[in-house]
Each structure stands twice: as structure tokens, then as C-alpha cells.
Structure 1
């Protein structure tokens, strides 16, 4: 016969196992109101909060968390009568899982998110907010869930599995990031959320591919090479790109380049026996010293094309020496000696001028020289990461302030593209496309395609002037029209509750905040080069602060960017522009151009 203590231990073990098994049940959101949650009704244990319920309470902004997806503080929902329920913080959820659901639309996906709460601070847990964002875009979706105010969870409840409502209308073959935040949200701490990235179908194992869902012909049209690399050997230019998946059955590709007033078309047939993922081909009939705008796509009807730029550089090959007479050899040596002497003299003059410039600008001449050697490569777009596309940024500016200001914009664009992982679109770099599409057509297309838009605000952006030529008048009219269009886009996005993070304005130290047009008042503002880390954080969604740690991106700080060749050139351009504006007489009145948005 068993002793009583053993029987008691067995009963406790069985009851604990049953309790743990029950706590692992999945909790799906219920339909209930904020009033029910605030009263602590037992029937309102885990509830979804709709936009209509949120608008009932005047203390919560009308935009609501469903438009801008900002994590609203706990007291906005639950702490009006009892503020103490929102005074404690909780840790981030854990074990985020993505579950794909059957979608009625064949061209889109649907998912459900599940997670476990953290056991740290779980007794003060008041709810969750789930955010879904398409990487490389500005589309954000949010769901808000709250727990009853009288509910107090125990550490054993950390085994519970909470689920969200389905997220629908997700694009195929795309990357998303889901973030689950625990409420109450702290003000200075960032351990209240957990993030997970995932791909929709056709990049996951054991999932139906794009051809299985939409048909092979439709997937061929939508696919395009995401990785394109150009390299030159002497006068031969080679292009390497990634091939379509084998299931697409694409056996031939089409390449077209335009430059020097001529267009060259090339039919590309890869050898799949040698390589099934990438292929390299040679561009034909190209000229040295010419810029080409090229496209490549699958050789099918209405296929999406990938655009890239090719700059053919001059090369000097060594010629074989011939048997020359002795007199001819002496003449050759004499010419070489004169050439070396002239080169030494020119080198001395250049070094002397650079030393003088060093005393004026306090910059290291070797940094500027190193940058000048790479100046021709600053405008190229090379995707170093084959899986994640860098953010695309359109820079708009006014050329009325003169060449010094335009040089600052050019050096800023080069620095952003080379050292801040951004694909910059600038009209100074895409003259061929502007000639084909027109100035306004190119700007309108880039405004739609780019992930971010940065307007460089200066005194000339708000001034009228007597135009000296039709080209200057056209450029200024384009700048004014773009400001008006961006202002209208921001007002429309604000009215529809969308995020405004796409639009930014920036000023340099020789400009003022009063130079920012009224129509751009809703855009994020940055002062360069002081706010370079903040601009990097905005473009890549990187948090600069962590618990007890300040994240500093290498060579992008206010004092460290000038250590890079491109940063040194940007600093020099800013100093020259500042000196020029300080020498000009100050205008007593600055006439602002009214913009109707």
C-alpha cells in the first residue's frame, strides 16, 4: 500500500500536467468592446479592437493605430479610470510563428500569426499589437488586441498560444516583416516587441509555387533578373545576371542597350549545363567613353525588364615593341625623358595646390585625391546583396542657388549611394532616361517607383528670379511642380490615414528651416550633416538606441563621415557653398512662392 505522501505527490503531478496542457491551448481573438474590457467582464478575456471601437473614445487620436501603426500608450485604452494598470512594463513576446491560410484570391496570400507571451512581467500584461510590413515598401497593416483589466496572468500562463486575425491580400514571392508588441508599451525601452521576417509562397519549401497558383505564362511575365553585375576587361564589357527558376522554363533572354545615338539588341541563350543559376554574356558593338542605358528580361511577351547603366571606360593596352634602329631608340628615350619631366612638373603643381587647399579647408589632400580617383564610379548602382533590394531614394532640389549648391547635392547623393546602402535616383545621373521620357515624365515615374523622396530645401527653392535661359526656367519649373505634387501626395496620404515616412526634407548648414515650403510641412525634417545617422535609420528602419547601448553606424556619424573619401568631398562642397553664401549680400526680403496643395 502506497504511503499518503506519495499519493499526494502523484495527484499534484497529474493536476499540474493537466493544467500545463490546458494552458497550451490556442487563444483566438473575440468580438467585444473597449467598455467591456475596461469593466473587467470575464467574457472579454482576449479581444480584438476595431477602428470603430477606437473612435468612440475622444482621448485616442482620430487617425487611430490602424492607419499609421504607431504603438499607442496603454493609458489611451485602459488607464483612464485606473492609471495604475499601465504603470508596469512587460517583456517581448516569443516563439512567433507564421501559418499560411487558404486564400480565395489566387494571386495573393493570407497568413495568421501566433506567439507566446513572456513570463517576465506577465502579471501586468494588457494586450498585444501585431504589425505587418512589406519590406522595401511603405504598406503597413496593424491589429490590436487587449486583455481584461481585472485579468492577472501567472508565469505558468506563458505557455498559452495567442493568435491574430488573418492578414490577407499579401503579394506572392515577396518578403514581409511581422512585429508583435506587448502592452503596456514603455517610453524608453525596446524589449517590448519581437520581429520575424518571412517570404510568401514560392520561396518556402513544400509550398505551391507561383506557376502552380497562377499559371506558368503569367509568372514568366512578372519575373525579372534581380541581380545584375557589369565588369569590363580591356574594351570588352560583360554582364552577369541571375536566371529564372527552372520551373518557369525560360530558355532565352533579351538584352537592349542605348547609347551614342544607337540601340544594340542582343539575344542571350544560356548554357544550363555549365550554370543553372547565373549566366554571363558580352555586349556587342559598344564604343569606349560612352554611357549606355541597358535593359534585360526574359524573352517572352510583355516581360518585366531590369534596367541598369553601363559606362565603357577608355583602356590603354601595351603594344608589342619592335626592332628599331639605334637612332630611333635614342629619339624615343629623349621623348620619354621630356614626358617624364613634364609629368613631374605637373605633379608638383598639383601637390602644391592641394596643400594650399588643405590650409583653407583643413582637409587631408590624400582623402580628396583618393575620392577624385573614384569619382567616375560614384553614380553606379551595384546591388551587393542578392536577396534584399536596397531602398530607392529620389532626390529633388533647386538649381537657383548656383553651382556650389548643386555640387553639394551631387556629393550627398554619391555618399548616400556608396556608404549608406541606398539606390539614389538623381537627374544629373540619368540624362539618357530624361532625354527619352522628358524632364517631368522622368520625375513623375521616379516619384511613383521610389520608396523614399528627399527634397533639399534652400533659399532658391522659395525665390522668384528673372530667368536667363529656357533651360534654367524649365529646371526651376520642374522643382516647383515637384514640390507641389509631393505636397498633394502627403495631404492625400494624411487624409486616407496612410504613413508619411516616404517623404523627407533636408537643409544644410547654410540654409534655414524657413526655407522649407509650407506644402512640405508634414514631411520628416533633417539637418545635414548632423542628422546623417537619423537619415540612415529612416531609410533602413534601424533603431539607433538599445537598452544601455547607443548604436553608432560606422563612418556615418557627424564627426566620422568625413574620414571617407566621399564624405570628405561632401564636407569640402558644403564649406565652399557656405563660404559663397556668406560672401553674398543678404536680401532684406525673401519672397515665398505660394503652393496650392
Structure 2
């Protein structure tokens, strides 16, 4: 009991007026005002009720809640279980789809949020209510809201699609991080899956009020750089007068050296723009500069300054004798004639050699003229998190194949900006949920699914029979732990692909791949509709698929460093992947020879 009380140590919020919500949908259920007597008796209009601090004080008979730290543990037992203790002794799964929604808040310095969620259908018939707590990360401020159903209510499983909402949590400072926790009631002892948490941030001042109203978030948007001789002139827009920003600073750095400049504009001359000089910069050097308001934690605007070489205008003239003036053009003419003759001779020999080799010079010329160039690109910055990739495979091809899959996952996660989900790395979660349940959840939550196809996956062997203590059975027990769940997951993926194809939906979520020691016929029929790759040859294509980056454009192509077929082995993870693929190829070759010679 004490352990449960410590885990559920939350705080109840004081009674506060509710904010009007204009965006409540028909499917959302919002809290009601009702008494504890109505909840206990199961009267009408008490389906989903908010419990205030006054209700708790009345139920416990205390004038204050200091004995429980402004909160009570196990609210179901204290508020509903006195008459019938069995009503609070059932297991209820944690809620799903916890979301945080910003609602209107008149104070320009704070936000208000509403939390929504869906109940789990596991134990929903015994669900008695919810408790929602909000805590600032790195701080001690906590708010708590309690909602209860009446004691006679029993929800069906179909009610798990209904959306429940909390009351607003107002007065949250802008630019702060919070953790919101939604807990399903009741919470029996020694039960851990009763809550769901989500971390979120309130809006910044600029997001809520606009950049021109925020002193801390303001930064110059318009910057112009001009070079006149050795002086660099920078012009930028000033902050609005209402922000009270009187001074600025500029910082330029290159080759390990920094140049700091204080800027104090004269608002009487120009209230919108100001120009200042950057002096003593080295010629032929590219500087990276920052400009910002001279305020604590002010946002800095970055721009570049390229200092050109200044050429001296004067040049000394030399007197040239008439004989020398005549000899110079003559020598130049002789040299030009010799160069033309040598070029013609070399060109004739080249044509003869090309003719002997039966190569068409027009094609070579066309290839040279249309030669592509390398181009540097960057990933999309609007994605907050890297793409989530689930890798499915079969372990029936032995430990060498499993090792190759694991090294592939490590390479993708380290050098392809992708979060990889692999059962080999989540053995505790797989053991806790069950292999099939874990795969189903990952298929649902992942952005992309990559199926590593091999001979064992395509053949789908039968489970080993009992009573055989031979080496083969031991091998199946060691390497076949995920075989049947993987095959079932592949069948599930195939069904999803078929349905998506029938409905004309996008199939880019699903991919198939084979290592160089496998064959394309190892790809199951249901996965022939999706993109499939040969690894490691097609690592760049896989990168393009995961990040939506075009590898080819008219007149140029994009080259990703250390992901090309030749360059990936320069990385430690790439070398490990190459060696794992080599070992798997040798193991697969030995296995084929063994079966070809009539081995069991």
C-alpha cells in the first residue's frame, strides 16, 4: 500500500473557472459538475465528473490535505471503495493517444492547455475514472485533476474509441517544458501499466504574440552587406520602439579569430534601419557573423561576409625599344604556329586510335559535354525527429545472417539519420509484450518497414517437433525464437501492402531488401509490389527513400558521403557490415554445398 501511495503522489488543483472550448468535437467527452453523492449513488448526469478539493476534503473529513501532501493516494479506494471495496480491485490498462492541445489564454505571457486521451479496452468494464497530473520539468510545480465515473457505470469495449478531455491547465509560462501524466483508475497494488506520460513544451513568445512583441525572441530579419574598398558596411533593421532595445552587438569569426563590434544606433536619425562598419578584416577570407540585440539570451541572426582581394590600381610602365617591340609579336606568332601543328598531330593520332578500337568519338564527346557534377544537399529541417524504421528478418538462415542484419541496423542508425527498431536490441520489451504483439505495435508506429528477405524467410519452415534431442533441434531453439513471429509479421505486412495497393494508397512505407548473397527470388510474392534493394549496393537509394532526397536531378547527381557502394567501408560500422555480409555469404555457400551433397 505504501509503495502505491508513493507512486501516486500527485496534487489536486484548486477550483478554477473553466475556459470556454469552441473546438470540442462531438466525439469528445468533457468533465461535468456533479456531487460525490451522485457519483456514489449512480444517479443520472454523473457519467464523467470532476472532483474538486472541496469534494476530497468533505469525503475525508479533514479541514486541510496536508497529511497527504495536498493529495490523496488511491482516490478510487478513498472516494468509491468504502461501501464496496471490490469496485476498486480490478486491473485497468493505461490510456492511449495522449495529446496536448493549446486553448485560448488572455495572458500574453502564458499558455493554457487541455489534455485528451482514449481509454484502453483492456479492463474498460472496470474503469472508474482518470487522474491527470501536470509537472514542470526541472521544477516542483504540479497541478492535478481527478475525474470519476459513477459506481454503477460499466463501459463496453467499443467505448475505447471515445476521446476524454481534461479541464484546462491555465497559467503555464511560455517557453517551458512539462510532463503530463494520465492515470487510469483504479490502480491495484503491484500494477505498473496504469499511466501514460507525454512531454511537451508551451509556445514561445514569438509563436503566440508575434516576433515584434517579444524582446527575448526578437532578431533582425533583414541584413544587407556591402563592400567598398577595405570597409564592409552592414545594414540591418532595428527592433520596434515598444521593445525598448537600445543597443546591439556583432560577432564575426574565421580561422580561429573573432571580431566583436558594439552597435549603438541613433534613433533620432533613422528609427527603422542602421548601418555600421566592419573594419580590420583580412582580405580573401570568408567570415561567419552574428548580430543580435544586446540582451540576455537574445536570438542571434547569422550571415556571411566575404572579403574580396583589393587589387592595386597603379602599374609601372617600362620603355621598350623598337627592335624588341618587333621581335615579341614575331616570336608569339611562331609559338602559336608550333602549338597549332602539335595539336593537329595529337588529334589525328587520337582519332586513329579511337577508330582502331571501334569507339564512336561522337558518343565520347556527348558524354564529356553532359558530364554530371556532384552537389551537396542537406536533410529536411522541418522534421522534428528522425524517421523510425522497423527491420524484420528471419533467423532460420543462421547466426551469420542475423549478425549481418544487426550490423545493417547499426550502420543505418549511426550514419543514415534514422531511428532503427530491431528485436535484437529490445529483448526485454519483446519478452514483456510477446514477439508477435511487439512486431504488431512496431508496424503500427514506425514510419518505414524494411523486410530483409532471405532463403529461410521465403521457405517458412515448420516448427521443430518434440522428442528429438539432436543438434538440429538445438539449432532451431537457439536461432528460431523469432522465426514464426517474423514470418507472421511478413504475412501481415503483405496483407497491408495488398490492401493499400487495392485502395490506391501510397506504398512507400514498406520496403524489401536482400543481401548480395541472396537472390531476388527470395523476396516473397506479397512484397514484390514495394521497392526492393540490393545491399550494400543500394545504400544511397535506401537513404533517398528514408529521407525523401532526390539522388538525381537534371545535369547533376547527389552523392551522400560514406554511403556509396565504395565509400561505406571507410567507416567502422561500414567495415563491420561488410565483414558480416562476407561471413554470412560464406556460411550460406557452405550450407548450400552441404545440402547439395545430400546432407541432412
TM-score range, shorter chain: 0.3 to 0.5
Query: TM-score scaled by structure 1?
Result: 0.38
Query: TM-score scaled by structure 2?
Result: 0.38
Tell me which of the two structures has the higher relative contact order, counting C-alpha pairs closer than 8 angstroms and 6 or more residues apart.
Answer: 1
Q: Which of the pair has more CA radius of gyration?
A: 2
